[in-house]
Chain A
Amino acid sequence: MDIIRSGYIKELLESGKRLESRGINEFRQIAIKCDTLGNAEGSTQVDIGNTKVLAGVKMVVEEPHSDTPDEGNFIVSAELLPIASAGYDVGPPSPSAIELARVIDRGIRAGNCIDLKSLSIDKERVWSVYVDLYVLNYDGNLFDAGTLAVMSALSRTKIPKFENEEIVHTEDDKPLKIQNTVVSTTFCKLGSKIILDPNGAEESAMSTRLTIATDGSCVRALQKGLGGSFSVDEINNLVDISFSKYEELKEQIKAISKE
């Protein structure tokens, strides 16, 4: 079945068309819902087409890392939940889940999106920002959905008060300081064609994948996946497309952070 569908998707692309009549550099419908969970310090749910991910932020008081004594910590994890796809199993994080979390983490970290210095509490303690990405339904492009979800959850995160050795939530908790916005665009190659925002069927037919994270002025992270290859001309062209998508994606996050 997969082979037949892969063949059809590639044939369609060679004739200049795409499933659901999408343009090759067109995102599916993106929807972001914020503050869906009350106990988390920040939360968002992002839908890209039928892909559905949820990001939850917990703020924890911890010791700083020895190499960054005056900075808070930022930790991203991802879980490909068994409810999200028949292909996902129960068990420890798969290499794909680890790659997903680390690529999202790198883009946001390299873009200095969080002011980690503002998370220092005293000499021994800092705030750690734990972001957990839950994949609820898989239909391709977890990288872009994940980056959007984590970035927008951070933009909604409130820092509780730390008083008398206890974390206290109050009405006037201060928002986490966000100083830059990073978004990502993921492309996949099928035959000779390269398309943006692959859905699940397109990903099952792809030979290779490239994720580009940008903040509009710089490339912040790159990650190629799978066994195929790209030429440098292709990569440079995809970087151009990625930059051209930046404002559109940033607006989505901006709209959320103002609500």
Chain B
Amino acid sequence: MSHENKPELVINGKRADGRDFEELRPLKIEAGILKNAGGSAYLEWGNNKVLAAVYGPKEVVPKHLTDSSKAIIKCRYSMAPFSSLSEHGRSGPNRRATEISKVIREVFENVIMLNEYPGSEIDIFIEILQGDGGTRTAGITAAAVALASAGIAIRDLVYAVSAAKIGENLVIDPNMLEDNYSDADMPVAVSPKNNEILLLQMDGGYTKEELKSSFEMIFKAGKKITDIQKESIRKLYESVSK
């Protein structure tokens, strides 16, 4: 992306917010905070604040979408009108949100054991309350915890994170400023048990080698994300059993 007045994003080998290239922003997850939902999670990742909720399995609406052999998944990713620093977001689904909702749904169609819930519907709602780059990956990471806390049969606890290229530097977990001025950006969702890639999008410019290194960086960061996800679920059940 060619922008004038590009801010200094790397200063003395550190990023503008003081992070190392392979350093994640602080990540906090709290599971089970919405009582009406079957499962839920609140996540703060840097300045991102995200709520995810899971409803179902329940009866399919409209009925004709029912699949008697497996569950259908509905997914809505939505940015609140007050979630961005720059402007008031128009309400309703835009093209970006429609595409993101689709690729997130596809991640969870792989992860949820659909055959366990024939004829039913499972809804995943992701609400971005405050966005600062990496909202789709934050949403997936939160939704995975919400699904697990809902007790829905899943194959793995998915995590997601973006890699980016800033000038010649490969970095993990870009914030909005870095995202806006990056030379490449790649959100990825991973099944940690076998490192299979469930979501992959990218734009910008990566050489083959940069692409390979970025995946390695993602897997390394993923270990930390997975630990925080698991800890949030552990806390939820400890609080229930008390």
Contact = CB atoms under 8 A, between A and B. Distances in A.
Interface of A: 68, 93, 95-96, 98-99, 101-102, 106-107, 109-112, 210, 215, 217-232, 235-236, 239-240, 243
Contacts of A68: 3
Contact of A236 (B196, B200, B204, B208): B208
Contact of A230 (B102, B107, B196, B201): B196
A99 B99 contact: yes
B186 interface: yes
B36 interface: no
Nearest to A209: B106
B110 A102 contact: no
A222 B201 CA distance: 5
B95 interface: yes
A92 B2 CA distance: 33
B205 interface: yes
Interface in B96-133: 96, 98-99, 101-103, 106-107, 109-110
A224 B110 CA distance: 13
A225 B202 contact: no
A225 B100 CA distance: 11
Contacts of B110: 227-229
B177 interface: no
Contact of B202 (A215, A222, A240): A222
B117 to A, nearest CB: 15
14 contacts: A98-B95, A110-B184, A110-B205, A219-B207, A219-B208, A220-B205, A221-B202, A222-B186, A222-B201, A223-B200, A229-B110, A229-B196, A231-B194, A231-B197
B205 A218 contact: yes
B98 A224 contact: no
Interface of B: 2-3, 95-96, 98-99, 101-103, 106-107, 109-110, 184, 186, 191, 194-208, 211-212, 215
B98 A95 contact: yes
Contacts of A219: 202, 205-208, 211
A69 to B, nearest CB: 10
B182 to A, nearest CB: 11
A78 B180 CA distance: 25
A95 B76 CA distance: 12
| 3 nearest A-B residue pairs (beta carbon) | A227-B109, A229-B196, A218-B205
A102 B106 contact: no
Given A95-B98, A227-B109, A232 B215 contact: yes
A217 to B, nearest CB: 7
Residue in A222, A223, A226 whose Cβ sees the most chain B Cβ within 10 Å: A222
B154 to A, nearest CB: 13
Nearest to A218: B205
Contacts of A231: 194-197
Nearest to A99: B99
A225 B103 contact: yes
B196 A220 contact: no
Contact of B200 (A102, A215, A218, A222): A222
A115 B119 CA distance: 52
B204 A95 contact: no
A220 B203 contact: yes
A214 to B, nearest CB: 10
